Structure 1
Amino acid sequence: MTGSEFPLPDVDWSRLRHNYGEATDVPALLERLVSDGDPDFEIAQYFCHQGHVGTATREIVPFLLAVVRSGAPSTVSVLQLLEAILHAEGGPLEAANALANVRLRRPGTGEWVDFTRPDAAELDIERRWVREMKRAILSESLLFASCLADTSPDVRAAALGVLAAGFAGLLQEMPTLEPEIRQAPIDAAARMKLERILAAGTG
Protein backbone atom coordinates (compact mmCIF):
# COMPACT_ATOMS: atom_id res chain seq x y z
CA MET A 1 0.00 0.00 0.00
CA THR A 2 1.42 3.37 -0.99
CA GLY A 3 0.90 6.95 0.03
CA SER A 4 -0.67 7.72 -3.37
CA GLU A 5 -3.78 5.82 -2.22
CA PHE A 6 -4.28 8.49 0.45
CA PRO A 7 -4.28 11.94 -1.21
CA LEU A 8 -2.42 14.65 0.65
CA PRO A 9 -3.86 18.12 1.20
CA ASP A 10 -3.07 20.55 -1.59
CA VAL A 11 -0.74 22.79 0.41
CA ASP A 12 2.59 24.49 -0.18
CA TRP A 13 4.82 22.32 1.98
CA SER A 14 7.70 24.76 1.62
CA ARG A 15 5.72 27.22 3.78
CA LEU A 16 5.34 24.65 6.57
CA ARG A 17 7.80 23.05 8.95
CA HIS A 18 8.24 19.79 10.78
CA ASN A 19 10.55 19.19 13.72
CA TYR A 20 13.65 18.97 11.52
CA GLY A 21 13.09 21.91 9.19
CA GLU A 22 11.26 22.77 5.99
CA ALA A 23 8.43 20.34 5.24
CA THR A 24 9.05 19.81 1.51
CA ASP A 25 9.93 16.17 2.22
CA VAL A 26 6.60 15.41 3.93
CA PRO A 27 5.07 13.53 0.94
CA ALA A 28 8.11 11.22 0.82
CA LEU A 29 8.03 10.74 4.58
CA LEU A 30 4.37 9.75 4.52
CA GLU A 31 5.03 7.40 1.61
CA ARG A 32 7.60 5.64 3.78
CA LEU A 33 5.26 5.62 6.76
CA VAL A 34 2.46 3.79 4.95
CA SER A 35 4.63 1.49 2.83
CA ASP A 36 5.94 -0.46 5.82
CA GLY A 37 3.76 -2.29 8.30
CA ASP A 38 6.39 -2.08 11.05
CA PRO A 39 6.33 0.87 13.47
CA ASP A 40 8.60 3.63 12.17
CA PHE A 41 9.55 5.81 15.12
CA GLU A 42 12.11 7.77 13.09
CA ILE A 43 9.47 9.16 10.74
CA ALA A 44 7.06 9.85 13.60
CA GLN A 45 9.63 12.15 15.21
CA TYR A 46 9.42 14.49 12.23
CA PHE A 47 5.83 15.20 13.19
CA CYS A 48 5.91 14.91 16.96
CA HIS A 49 9.16 14.92 18.91
CA GLN A 50 9.73 15.51 22.62
CA GLY A 51 6.15 16.71 23.00
CA HIS A 52 6.17 19.26 20.19
CA VAL A 53 4.71 19.42 16.69
CA GLY A 54 5.37 21.55 13.63
CA THR A 55 2.91 23.29 11.33
CA ALA A 56 3.14 20.36 8.89
CA THR A 57 1.64 18.03 11.50
CA ARG A 58 -1.75 19.73 11.46
CA GLU A 59 -1.96 19.26 7.68
CA ILE A 60 -1.34 15.51 7.73
CA VAL A 61 -4.08 14.61 10.24
CA PRO A 62 -6.73 13.89 7.52
CA PHE A 63 -4.18 11.67 5.78
CA LEU A 64 -3.45 9.75 8.99
CA LEU A 65 -7.15 9.25 9.70
CA ALA A 66 -7.69 7.93 6.17
CA VAL A 67 -4.96 5.34 6.74
CA VAL A 68 -6.66 4.15 9.94
CA ARG A 69 -10.02 3.88 8.15
CA SER A 70 -8.43 1.74 5.44
CA GLY A 71 -6.99 -0.82 7.85
CA ALA A 72 -3.64 -0.59 6.06
CA PRO A 73 -0.65 -2.56 7.42
CA SER A 74 0.77 0.73 8.71
CA THR A 75 -2.28 1.37 10.93
CA VAL A 76 -0.34 0.63 14.12
CA SER A 77 2.38 3.17 13.26
CA VAL A 78 -0.23 5.77 12.37
CA LEU A 79 -2.24 5.20 15.55
CA GLN A 80 0.92 5.54 17.61
CA LEU A 81 1.69 8.83 15.86
CA LEU A 82 -1.85 10.09 16.53
CA GLU A 83 -1.42 9.21 20.20
CA ALA A 84 1.84 11.16 20.33
CA ILE A 85 0.16 14.19 18.72
CA LEU A 86 -2.60 14.12 21.32
CA HIS A 87 0.07 14.13 24.04
CA ALA A 88 1.92 17.07 22.44
CA GLU A 89 2.41 20.15 24.57
CA GLY A 90 2.41 22.51 21.59
CA GLY A 91 4.42 23.79 18.66
CA PRO A 92 7.83 25.43 18.29
CA LEU A 93 6.71 28.67 19.95
CA GLU A 94 5.49 26.70 22.96
CA ALA A 95 8.92 25.07 23.17
CA ALA A 96 10.58 28.49 23.01
CA ASN A 97 8.24 29.79 25.67
CA ALA A 98 9.20 26.92 27.97
CA LEU A 99 12.91 27.62 27.45
CA ALA A 100 12.34 31.28 28.32
CA ASN A 101 11.39 30.15 31.81
CA VAL A 102 14.76 28.54 32.50
CA ARG A 103 18.37 29.71 32.53
CA LEU A 104 21.23 27.54 31.32
CA ARG A 105 24.99 27.96 31.46
CA ARG A 106 26.97 27.66 28.24
CA PRO A 107 29.32 24.64 28.39
CA GLY A 108 32.96 25.66 28.71
CA THR A 109 32.44 29.35 29.44
CA GLY A 110 29.85 29.12 32.19
CA GLU A 111 28.02 32.13 30.71
CA TRP A 112 24.28 32.34 31.23
CA VAL A 113 22.17 31.73 28.12
CA ASP A 114 18.91 33.69 27.91
CA PHE A 115 16.17 32.51 25.55
CA THR A 116 13.87 35.00 23.88
CA ARG A 117 10.21 34.68 24.83
CA PRO A 118 7.94 34.43 21.72
CA ASP A 119 5.39 37.08 20.83
CA ALA A 120 2.25 36.52 22.91
CA ALA A 121 -0.14 36.96 19.96
CA GLU A 122 1.77 34.48 17.80
CA LEU A 123 1.90 32.00 20.68
CA ASP A 124 -1.87 32.31 21.10
CA ILE A 125 -2.39 31.58 17.38
CA GLU A 126 -0.20 28.50 17.66
CA ARG A 127 -2.07 27.24 20.71
CA ARG A 128 -5.36 27.61 18.84
CA TRP A 129 -4.29 25.54 15.86
CA VAL A 130 -2.81 22.88 18.13
CA ARG A 131 -6.16 22.63 19.95
CA GLU A 132 -8.04 22.47 16.63
CA MET A 133 -5.70 19.74 15.38
CA LYS A 134 -6.34 17.64 18.47
CA ARG A 135 -10.08 18.27 18.19
CA ALA A 136 -10.00 16.97 14.61
CA ILE A 137 -8.43 13.74 15.85
CA LEU A 138 -10.90 13.36 18.70
CA SER A 139 -13.82 13.88 16.32
CA GLU A 140 -12.98 10.39 15.02
CA SER A 141 -13.25 8.73 18.44
CA LEU A 142 -15.74 6.17 17.16
CA LEU A 143 -13.21 5.18 14.48
CA PHE A 144 -10.65 4.42 17.18
CA ALA A 145 -13.30 2.58 19.20
CA SER A 146 -14.02 0.39 16.18
CA CYS A 147 -10.32 -0.51 16.05
CA LEU A 148 -10.74 -2.15 19.46
CA ALA A 149 -12.49 -4.97 17.62
CA ASP A 150 -9.60 -5.48 15.17
CA THR A 151 -8.16 -8.98 14.90
CA SER A 152 -4.65 -7.63 15.55
CA PRO A 153 -3.73 -7.16 19.23
CA ASP A 154 -1.22 -4.50 18.16
CA VAL A 155 -3.95 -2.46 16.46
CA ARG A 156 -6.21 -2.85 19.48
CA ALA A 157 -3.45 -1.71 21.85
CA ALA A 158 -2.54 1.27 19.64
CA ALA A 159 -6.19 2.35 19.35
CA LEU A 160 -6.56 2.13 23.10
CA GLY A 161 -3.50 4.37 23.41
CA VAL A 162 -5.17 7.04 21.26
CA LEU A 163 -8.38 6.87 23.29
CA ALA A 164 -6.44 7.14 26.55
CA ALA A 165 -4.33 10.05 25.24
CA GLY A 166 -7.45 11.95 24.29
CA PHE A 167 -9.13 11.17 27.60
CA ALA A 168 -10.06 14.74 28.54
CA GLY A 169 -11.64 15.41 25.15
CA LEU A 170 -13.34 12.03 25.10
CA LEU A 171 -15.24 12.81 28.29
CA GLN A 172 -17.50 15.10 26.27
CA GLU A 173 -18.35 12.24 23.90
CA MET A 174 -18.54 9.52 26.56
CA PRO A 175 -22.37 9.09 26.54
CA THR A 176 -22.21 8.10 22.86
CA LEU A 177 -18.88 6.34 22.92
CA GLU A 178 -19.06 4.33 26.14
CA PRO A 179 -21.60 1.65 25.08
CA GLU A 180 -19.66 0.87 21.90
CA ILE A 181 -16.36 0.66 23.76
CA ARG A 182 -17.78 -1.58 26.47
CA GLN A 183 -19.06 -4.04 23.85
CA ALA A 184 -15.77 -4.18 21.91
CA PRO A 185 -14.21 -7.69 21.87
CA ILE A 186 -10.79 -6.81 23.28
CA ASP A 187 -8.35 -8.91 25.27
CA ALA A 188 -8.34 -9.03 29.07
CA ALA A 189 -5.38 -6.67 29.56
CA ALA A 190 -6.86 -4.00 27.28
CA ARG A 191 -10.28 -4.49 28.87
CA MET A 192 -8.88 -3.84 32.35
CA LYS A 193 -7.08 -0.68 31.24
CA LEU A 194 -10.13 0.60 29.38
CA GLU A 195 -12.43 -0.07 32.32
CA ARG A 196 -10.15 2.09 34.50
CA ILE A 197 -10.36 4.93 31.96
CA LEU A 198 -14.14 4.73 31.77
CA ALA A 199 -14.52 4.49 35.52
CA ALA A 200 -12.41 7.61 36.03
CA GLY A 201 -14.48 9.50 33.49
CA THR A 202 -17.90 8.48 34.71
CA GLY A 203 -17.34 8.06 38.42
Structure 2
Amino acid sequence: MNPPLRLAVIQGSTRDGRLGPVVADWLRGHADARPDMTVDLIDLAETPLPTVFPQLGQPPADEADRALLRAVSPRLAAADAFVVVTPEYNHSYPASLKNAIDWHNREWHAKPVGFVAYGGFSAGLRAVEHLRAVFAELHAVTIRDAIGLQGVWGQFDADGNAVDPAADAAAKAMLDQLAWWAEALRTARATKPYAA
Protein backbone atom coordinates (compact mmCIF):
# COMPACT_ATOMS: atom_id res chain seq x y z
CA MET A 1 0.00 0.00 0.00
CA ASN A 2 1.24 3.47 -0.88
CA PRO A 3 2.10 5.93 1.91
CA PRO A 4 -0.50 8.61 2.63
CA LEU A 5 -0.51 11.66 0.41
CA ARG A 6 0.94 14.76 2.04
CA LEU A 7 -1.65 17.53 1.68
CA ALA A 8 -0.78 21.16 2.41
CA VAL A 9 -3.84 23.27 3.17
CA ILE A 10 -2.93 26.93 2.64
CA GLN A 11 -5.12 29.38 4.53
CA GLY A 12 -4.74 32.60 2.56
CA SER A 13 -6.54 35.28 4.56
CA THR A 14 -4.57 37.45 6.98
CA ARG A 15 -7.32 39.98 7.72
CA ASP A 16 -8.32 40.83 11.31
CA GLY A 17 -11.56 39.05 12.24
CA ARG A 18 -11.11 36.63 9.35
CA LEU A 19 -13.32 33.60 8.83
CA GLY A 20 -10.57 31.75 6.98
CA PRO A 21 -9.46 29.59 9.92
CA VAL A 22 -13.01 28.26 10.35
CA VAL A 23 -13.18 27.33 6.67
CA ALA A 24 -9.68 25.83 6.67
CA ASP A 25 -10.36 23.79 9.82
CA TRP A 26 -13.57 22.47 8.28
CA LEU A 27 -11.73 21.33 5.15
CA ARG A 28 -8.88 19.95 7.25
CA GLY A 29 -11.39 17.87 9.21
CA HIS A 30 -12.53 16.23 5.98
CA ALA A 31 -8.95 15.52 4.91
CA ASP A 32 -7.92 14.27 8.38
CA ALA A 33 -10.76 11.72 8.25
CA ARG A 34 -9.25 10.11 5.16
CA PRO A 35 -6.73 7.26 5.56
CA ASP A 36 -5.02 8.27 2.30
CA MET A 37 -3.97 11.78 3.45
CA THR A 38 -1.94 13.55 6.11
CA VAL A 39 -2.50 17.28 6.48
CA ASP A 40 -0.21 20.24 7.08
CA LEU A 41 -2.16 23.47 7.63
CA ILE A 42 -0.16 26.53 6.58
CA ASP A 43 -1.79 29.72 7.88
CA LEU A 44 -0.24 32.74 6.18
CA ALA A 45 -1.10 34.96 9.14
CA GLU A 46 0.96 32.71 11.41
CA THR A 47 3.76 32.14 8.90
CA PRO A 48 4.14 35.48 7.08
CA LEU A 49 6.59 35.73 4.23
CA PRO A 50 8.79 38.65 3.18
CA THR A 51 7.23 41.20 0.85
CA VAL A 52 10.41 42.53 -0.76
CA PHE A 53 11.94 40.19 -3.33
CA PRO A 54 15.66 39.92 -4.06
CA GLN A 55 17.06 40.17 -7.56
CA LEU A 56 15.75 37.41 -9.78
CA GLY A 57 17.51 34.14 -9.04
CA GLN A 58 19.15 35.38 -5.84
CA PRO A 59 18.30 34.30 -2.27
CA PRO A 60 17.17 36.96 0.20
CA ALA A 61 20.11 38.86 1.65
CA ASP A 62 18.46 39.28 5.03
CA GLU A 63 18.68 36.36 7.49
CA ALA A 64 15.27 37.25 8.95
CA ASP A 65 13.71 36.86 5.50
CA ARG A 66 15.46 33.53 4.99
CA ALA A 67 14.11 32.35 8.36
CA LEU A 68 10.56 33.28 7.31
CA LEU A 69 10.95 31.25 4.15
CA ARG A 70 12.37 28.27 6.04
CA ALA A 71 9.11 28.13 8.01
CA VAL A 72 7.09 27.57 4.82
CA SER A 73 9.17 26.50 1.80
CA PRO A 74 10.15 22.99 2.98
CA ARG A 75 6.53 22.27 3.85
CA LEU A 76 5.39 23.20 0.34
CA ALA A 77 8.21 21.18 -1.21
CA ALA A 78 7.22 18.11 0.82
CA ALA A 79 3.55 18.28 -0.19
CA ASP A 80 2.06 15.96 -2.79
CA ALA A 81 -0.99 18.18 -3.20
CA PHE A 82 -2.43 21.50 -2.08
CA VAL A 83 -5.77 22.98 -1.15
CA VAL A 84 -5.89 26.77 -1.22
CA VAL A 85 -8.51 28.30 1.08
CA THR A 86 -9.18 31.86 -0.06
CA PRO A 87 -11.63 34.70 0.36
CA GLU A 88 -12.48 36.95 -2.55
CA TYR A 89 -11.17 40.51 -2.32
CA ASN A 90 -12.18 42.89 -5.12
CA HIS A 91 -12.91 40.06 -7.60
CA SER A 92 -9.63 38.30 -6.80
CA TYR A 93 -7.60 36.75 -3.99
CA PRO A 94 -5.55 38.32 -1.16
CA ALA A 95 -2.10 39.81 -1.64
CA SER A 96 -0.73 37.53 1.10
CA LEU A 97 -1.63 34.50 -0.98
CA LYS A 98 -0.04 35.89 -4.18
CA ASN A 99 3.08 36.69 -2.19
CA ALA A 100 3.31 33.12 -0.88
CA ILE A 101 2.80 31.72 -4.36
CA ASP A 102 5.39 34.00 -5.95
CA TRP A 103 8.13 33.15 -3.44
CA HIS A 104 8.01 29.58 -4.74
CA ASN A 105 8.32 27.87 -8.07
CA ARG A 106 9.46 24.24 -8.21
CA GLU A 107 7.45 23.51 -5.06
CA TRP A 108 4.29 23.70 -7.21
CA HIS A 109 5.53 21.76 -10.26
CA ALA A 110 3.50 18.71 -11.34
CA LYS A 111 1.30 18.78 -8.25
CA PRO A 112 -2.48 19.17 -8.00
CA VAL A 113 -4.19 22.16 -6.41
CA GLY A 114 -7.77 22.23 -5.13
CA PHE A 115 -9.65 25.32 -4.03
CA VAL A 116 -12.06 26.28 -1.28
CA ALA A 117 -13.28 29.83 -1.85
CA TYR A 118 -15.71 31.90 0.13
CA GLY A 119 -17.36 35.27 0.07
CA GLY A 120 -20.64 36.97 -0.56
CA PHE A 121 -22.68 36.67 -3.74
CA SER A 122 -19.94 35.14 -5.90
CA ALA A 123 -18.92 32.50 -3.31
CA GLY A 124 -15.30 33.50 -3.94
CA LEU A 125 -15.19 31.80 -7.31
CA ARG A 126 -13.77 34.84 -9.12
CA ALA A 127 -10.70 34.47 -6.92
CA VAL A 128 -10.40 30.84 -7.99
CA GLU A 129 -10.51 31.76 -11.68
CA HIS A 130 -7.55 34.10 -11.18
CA LEU A 131 -5.66 31.46 -9.21
CA ARG A 132 -6.10 28.88 -11.96
CA ALA A 133 -4.12 31.03 -14.41
CA VAL A 134 -1.36 31.63 -11.87
CA PHE A 135 -0.97 27.96 -11.00
CA ALA A 136 -0.98 26.97 -14.69
CA GLU A 137 2.07 29.21 -15.13
CA LEU A 138 3.72 27.32 -12.25
CA HIS A 139 3.16 23.90 -13.89
CA ALA A 140 0.54 22.85 -11.34
CA VAL A 141 -2.67 20.96 -12.15
CA THR A 142 -5.84 22.58 -10.81
CA ILE A 143 -8.84 20.49 -9.82
CA ARG A 144 -11.95 21.45 -11.78
CA ASP A 145 -14.49 21.08 -8.96
CA ALA A 146 -13.75 23.93 -6.58
CA ILE A 147 -15.80 24.57 -3.46
CA GLY A 148 -17.52 27.95 -3.33
CA LEU A 149 -19.22 29.07 -0.12
CA GLN A 150 -21.73 31.82 -0.80
CA GLY A 151 -22.73 34.07 2.10
CA VAL A 152 -20.06 32.34 4.14
CA TRP A 153 -20.99 34.05 7.42
CA GLY A 154 -24.05 31.79 7.65
CA GLN A 155 -22.45 28.59 6.37
CA PHE A 156 -20.99 27.28 9.66
CA ASP A 157 -22.42 26.63 13.10
CA ALA A 158 -20.76 27.60 16.39
CA ASP A 159 -18.68 24.39 16.32
CA GLY A 160 -17.34 25.05 12.80
CA ASN A 161 -19.52 22.46 11.09
CA ALA A 162 -21.10 23.20 7.73
CA VAL A 163 -24.83 23.82 8.05
CA ASP A 164 -25.54 22.68 4.47
CA PRO A 165 -24.82 18.97 3.78
CA ALA A 166 -24.05 19.92 0.17
CA ALA A 167 -20.87 21.63 1.37
CA ASP A 168 -19.66 18.41 3.00
CA ALA A 169 -20.50 16.47 -0.17
CA ALA A 170 -18.55 19.03 -2.24
CA ALA A 171 -15.54 18.68 0.08
CA LYS A 172 -15.56 14.89 -0.34
CA ALA A 173 -15.84 15.13 -4.13
CA MET A 174 -13.03 17.66 -4.42
CA LEU A 175 -10.73 15.67 -2.11
CA ASP A 176 -11.49 12.46 -4.05
CA GLN A 177 -10.43 14.15 -7.29
CA LEU A 178 -7.40 15.73 -5.62
CA ALA A 179 -6.30 12.35 -4.26
CA TRP A 180 -6.57 10.77 -7.71
CA TRP A 181 -4.38 13.46 -9.27
CA ALA A 182 -1.96 13.51 -6.34
CA GLU A 183 -1.38 9.75 -6.53
CA ALA A 184 -0.98 9.81 -10.31
CA LEU A 185 1.42 12.76 -10.27
CA ARG A 186 3.42 11.44 -7.31
CA THR A 187 3.95 8.19 -9.22
CA ALA A 188 4.89 10.09 -12.37
CA ARG A 189 7.40 12.33 -10.54
CA ALA A 190 8.99 9.26 -8.93
CA THR A 191 9.22 7.49 -12.31
CA LYS A 192 10.58 10.42 -14.29
CA PRO A 193 11.49 13.90 -12.99
CA TYR A 194 9.19 16.61 -14.28
CA ALA A 195 10.74 18.69 -17.07
CA ALA A 196 9.87 22.35 -16.55
TM-score range, shorter chain: 0.3 to 0.5
Normalized per residue, the structure richer in strand is 2
The normalised TM-score by structure 2 is 0.32
Tell which structure's C-alpha radius of gyration is larger: 1
Please identify which structure carries the higher helix content.
1
Point out which structure has higher relative CO (alpha carbons under 8 A, 6+ apart): 2
